[in-house]
Structure 1
């Protein structure tokens, strides 16, 4: 299976301190589902930043879509980033925009005409179960509703890679499973999904998912499928 991401002896250091990530090497297969786990401070968020090009490695090579991400000229970065969807734990919705307009934002930034925006935004609202909340603004939405809007915004551009940083950290267990089901549905359509989580109750909810575990900036078991998966999907 082709790799969509390759890390080769990657290290990441902020300033002159110790490395946050050290000698990290792994490949992500196109169309697969991965959980990234590890204790607080292990470097999960830093690794995700490298994946969605918010950070460049201090050493080593990060290859995305077959190209060395560290060697990309700045003019090509926007196009690369449009191939990657990102879901943040703190949602990062624009508070004065409606749910509809938050979801539409990536398409507008990409220059899509207004006549071609409404249908996909309505489709995303239906996909996350919020058809009737399109005109609501983020402060009036629950945490679970805000996270679903953030997911819709992240995937409206049909990304090849989806990166989610603790997406279930601010919601109750029932909503966490519902969010995970959305990621699973997207993965079934061919998107490679990486979910960073500390919630071990979710790890066996996706059969054939893979688990990567960070410990003190180093990666353990980067390719192993989760053990004893349940017989059916959540």
Structure 2
């Protein structure tokens, strides 16, 4: 299995403050499913921002899709971002657009015509169980429905890497299971998945998933060395 992401002694600070992340050194394999866990304030969201290119590291090296990001001009970054899907914790749907148009947005940004988007968007809304809500705008949708629209938007362009920040944090347990099922289905189609979560029951419900734990800006495990331990070991 090849590598899709490589972090080599990466650090991140905002402004002149202390480092939020330090000495991150890991590899993500193509087609794998990863959970990122840790206490509030540990650095999960900051790490995800590095993965989906919302932030550049203060130091260290990141390779993405076999390319060293430090060697890429800023104008090349949109091309990388189009290969990454992001599910935000706060959804970030556009309130005046319908569910259909929110999902279609990444395709329009990539230059697809109305005719080219119609079929894929209808299919994606059916996949997340929202065919009958395609014309609804986000303020009229429940939290679970908004999350499913956000998932459909994130995966409509068939990203190679999907990054999700607490995707089940605003829904009930049944909806959380459905969202996890949808992410698992996407992973089986070949997309690499990284999910930040506080809920270890989700981890336990995903056989074969890898676990990364972050604390105080550093990736750790019970032995003090970065690795991906079995789920049973983490929950014991």
TM category, shorter = over 0.9
Partner of 1:35: 35
Partner of 2:81: 81
Residue by residue over 1:173-220, the C-alpha shift from the partner in whole angstroms, topping out at 9 and shown as x without a partner, is: 111111111100000000000000001111111111000000100001
Partner of 2:149: 149
Partner of 1:117: 117
Residue by residue over 1:115-170, the C-alpha shift from the partner in whole angstroms, topping out at 9 and shown as x without a partner, is: 11000000100100011000000000000000000000000000000000011111
Partner of 2:57: 57
Conserved 8 A contact 1:97-1:137? yes
Q: TM-score, normalised by structure 1?
A: 0.96
- Give the deviation of 1:98 after TM superposition: 0.2
Partner of 2:232: 228
CA distance in 2, matches of 1:187, 1:223: 21
- Give the deviation of 1:225 after TM superposition: 4.3
CA distance in 1, matches of 2:143, 2:74: 35
CA distance in 2, matches of 1:70, 1:21: 18
Conserved 8 A contact 1:21-1:218? yes
CA distance in 2, matches of 1:196, 1:69: 23
Q: Give 5+ residue unaligned stretches, structure 2.
A: none
Conserved 8 A contact 1:204-1:226? no
Aligned pairs, number: 229
Residue by residue over 1:79-121, the C-alpha shift from the partner in whole angstroms, topping out at 9 and shown as x without a partner, is: 1100000000100000000000000000011111111100000
Conserved 8 A contact 2:203-2:231? no
Trace 1:196-207 onto structure 2 (pairs within 5 A): 196-207=196-207
Conserved 8 A contact 1:208-1:225? no
Query: Runs in 1 of length 4+ with deviation above 2 angstroms?
Result: 225-229
Residue aligned with 1:77, SS: helix
